[in-house]
Amino acid sequence: MPVPTLPYDCIVNILENLEYDRSTLYRCLFVNRFWCTYAVRLLWHRPFSSSHRDKHYMIVKTYLLFFNESEQKSLIPFNITLDYQTQNSSPLFPYAKYLEEFSDLDFGLSIEVFLNYSDGQNNCNDRRVDAILISLWRMLMRQCVKIKSMKIRPSLFLYGFDGPDIEGVMHTRSAFDHLREFDFYVDEYYDGTFSRTIDLIQKLPSLCSGIKKMSICLEEDPIYNIEFEEEAHWIAKIIYAQHNISDFRLSASKNMRTVKIISSALVKNVNRLTSLSFVGISFDGISLKLLSNLQCLERLALSICSGLTQTHIQSFPQTLKLQELRLDRNEWANEVDVGLIQKCRSLSKIVINNLTTEKIAAARNSPNITDITVEMKSASFLDEFFDWIRQYKMLVKLHVKNNYFEGCGLFIRSLGEILPTSLTYLGLVCEVIEPEELSEFFKKCNAPLETLIIALDPLGYEHLSVIEESVTTSRSLKLLSLSNRSDSEIWGPRELGVIERIKQQGIEMFDYVSYNCYLAGCFL
């Protein structure tokens, strides 16, 4: 009986779900021509973001195959010679055509890796990097048909990569119709000398109007006279030109005028914003009246910010329809956080550092929370915390950073008793937990954990033995991260032996920092 053929739409869905599983995508290349053609597009649409940096020289080497005669000649003054046989090889696919993400940093650093691989003579000030980058930009601008993401980071620190020349951009004007993500990052090492990048930023409002996600980072420091008001005006013009910005992030701006310029530009899109993030922003002297119209906002993140007051909170709608609220290491009074949390009634995810009784009381107004990340600095409100957690019968994720305080042992022992049976993800970032206390936690825990993060200070052999015993009896655990948070403690052969035995139980180990920062937003 012949095997039925899947519809093309089903195959496309399968392959797109494998976008970040490159090893499996490579195997798909050998199924048939259709699978191969579509898999190649996925492998090459964001090649730098989904492969190891050490392999990026191979990407640059492949792109060199698409240089035309003019782009090759521009490298001659820099004594850059391209291998004749390589240049006469015929690529199987138009790889450059598939690129959808432009990043000056990715391209520049990858060219450095390529030069080092070729002759081992490059350095951070190698002029050949810029020469190849110019030709590479021109080739890609000539080839690309659908640019969805652009990341620009002009900086003189370790690298000095300028963006594409504006002439090349204008040749591929239609490709920018698809631009949906834009990241712009300048730091203290930016000195305004990146002429091609500046030309591109100033032309961008006339090139695209469909950006949905923007991330702007202007690392200002007025104390050292580092301000980016002119750059803020460029960004504001880009914002004004867009019709559907739904996700916006502003980082590191300490200059009141800069924040005003950019926040004022958001007014046009304020009714469309579903995600808004401020990181390292000072709100002193800033009016947030524009936020009174945030009717569609689902996610609000305020991290490492300062200057927010009760007057600002009054600018927000009376009731926020947020699904996610993040309040992380901000410098303002406790009642400001409380006032903001009280406006939320429909949260499914909340992140709070320096948890207090008042914040817990305010958070209890959201009855449908399934994801909680908190930092605790006191044992004075453990009963309120446990009652709060018991409230959520459908809680799926809990991440707790528990700084040292008297009663820390009582906290970890009691936590196992109150975890709901719906919980599948648990992160514990704790200090001074004794092995017997950890053992009691596991004995009392009935949650079917699939992902477990344990970061202790210190995390020694006795702790690992307790964890191994728990893993052996658990049938649900799939992912485990173990971190010794003390720099003075280094795992020896005994500890590594326990970890190896845990892996033999079929448990996948992962890195605590990179994975957990992304998924849980924990406080490091």
Q: How confident is the model at residue 519 (pLDDT cuts 50, 70, 90)?
A: very low
**Judgement on whether residues 21 and 72 belong to the same structural domain of the protein:** no
Q: Kindly state whether residue 134 falls inside one of the protein's structural domains.
A: yes
Q: Kindly state whether residue 259 falls inside one of the protein's structural domains.
A: no
Report d(CA 341, CA 360) in Å as an integer.
9
What's the pLDDT at 171?
61
180 pLDDT exceeds 90? yes
**Judgement on whether residues 97 and 119 belong to the same structural domain of the protein:** yes
Stretch 433-462: mean pLDDT? 89
**Judgement on whether residues 68 and 161 belong to the same structural domain of the protein:** yes
Tell me the percentage of the chain whose pLDDT exceeds 90: 36
What's the pLDDT at 169?
60
Q: Kindly state whether residue 233 falls inside one of the protein's structural domains.
A: no
Q: What are φ and ψ of residue 61, in 5° steps?
A: -60, -40
> Which of 17-26, 67-76, 165-174 has the highest average model confidence (pLDDT)?
67-76
What's the pLDDT at 87?
52
Higher pLDDT, 21 or 508: 508
What's the pLDDT at 159?
55
**Judgement on whether residues 191 and 77 belong to the same structural domain of the protein:** yes
Q: How confident is the model at residue 346 (pLDDT cuts 50, 70, 90)?
A: very high
Stretch 387-398: mean pLDDT? 95
Q: How many CA atoms lie within 13 A of 518 on its CB side?
A: 5
**Judgement on whether residues 430 and 504 belong to the same structural domain of the protein:** yes
What's the pLDDT at 85?
44
Last residue of a domain, one of 155, 175, 208: 208
Q: How confident is the model at residue 361 (pLDDT cuts 50, 70, 90)?
A: very high
How many helices, marked H, and strands, marked E, lie in the chain?
21, 15
**Judgement on whether residues 10 and 71 belong to the same structural domain of the protein:** no
What's the pLDDT at 108?
82
Stretch 69-82: mean pLDDT? 80
**Judgement on whether residues 93 and 194 belong to the same structural domain of the protein:** yes
**Judgement on whether residues 11 and 69 belong to the same structural domain of the protein:** no
Q: How confident is the model at residue 89 (pLDDT cuts 50, 70, 90)?
A: low
Q: How confident is the model at residue 299 (pLDDT cuts 50, 70, 90)?
A: very high
* Mean pLDDT, all residues of the chain: 84
205 pLDDT exceeds 70? yes
**Judgement on whether residues 202 and 75 belong to the same structural domain of the protein:** yes
Residue 499: domain span: 394-402+418-524
pLDDT digits (tens, 9 = 90+) for 478-509: 999 888 655 445 678 888 899 899 999 889 88
Q: Are 308 and 338 contacting, i.e. CB atoms less than 8 angstroms apart?
A: no
Q: How confident is the model at residue 512 (pLDDT cuts 50, 70, 90)?
A: low
Nearest in space to 136 (alpha carbons), one of 46, 206, 59: 59
Q: What are φ and ψ of residue 426, in 5° steps?
A: -135, 130
Average the pLDDT over each of 57-66, 79-88, 105-114, 421-430 and give the range with the smallest value.
79-88
Q: Kindly state whether residue 296 falls inside one of the protein's structural domains.
A: no
Q: Please give the C-alpha separations between residue 63 and each of 125, 214, 509, in angstroms, as whole numbers.
A: 22, 28, 36
**Judgement on whether residues 117 and 4 belong to the same structural domain of the protein:** no
Average the pLDDT over each of 185-189, 208-212, 326-330 and give the range with the smallest value.
185-189
Average the pLDDT over each of 54-68, 77-91, 353-367 and give the range with the smallest value.
77-91
What's the pLDDT at 3?
46
Stretch 158-177: mean pLDDT? 67
Stretch 90-94: mean pLDDT? 84
Q: Are 275 and 247 contacting, i.e. CB atoms less than 8 angstroms apart?
A: yes
Last residue of a domain, one of 208, 225, 254: 208
Stretch 173-184: mean pLDDT? 87
Report d(CA 404, CA 492) in Å as an integer.
26
Last residue of a domain, one of 192, 208, 224: 208
**Judgement on whether residues 164 and 39 belong to the same structural domain of the protein:** no
Higher pLDDT, 235 or 458: 235
**Judgement on whether residues 67 and 51 belong to the same structural domain of the protein:** yes
What's the pLDDT at 515?
47
Q: Kindly state whether residue 158 falls inside one of the protein's structural domains.
A: yes
Stretch 446-451: mean pLDDT? 93
Q: How many CA atoms lie within 13 A of 242 on its CB side?
A: 29
Q: How confident is the model at residue 339 (pLDDT cuts 50, 70, 90)?
A: very high
What's the pLDDT at 168?
60
Q: Kindly state whether residue 365 falls inside one of the protein's structural domains.
A: no
What's the pLDDT at 522?
46
Q: What are φ and ψ of residue 320, in 5° steps?
A: -95, 135
309 pLDDT exceeds 80? yes
Q: Kindly state whether residue 310 falls inside one of the protein's structural domains.
A: no
What's the pLDDT at 521?
47
What's the pLDDT at 237?
96
What's the pLDDT at 15?
84
Report d(CA 368, CA 370) in Å as an integer.
6
The number of distinct structural domains making up the chain is 3
CB neighbourhood size of 518 (10 A): 8
What's the pLDDT at 241?
95
Q: Kindly state whether residue 451 falls inside one of the protein's structural domains.
A: yes
Which tokens sit at 53? 């940096």
DSSP 65: G
Q: How confident is the model at residue 306 (pLDDT cuts 50, 70, 90)?
A: very high
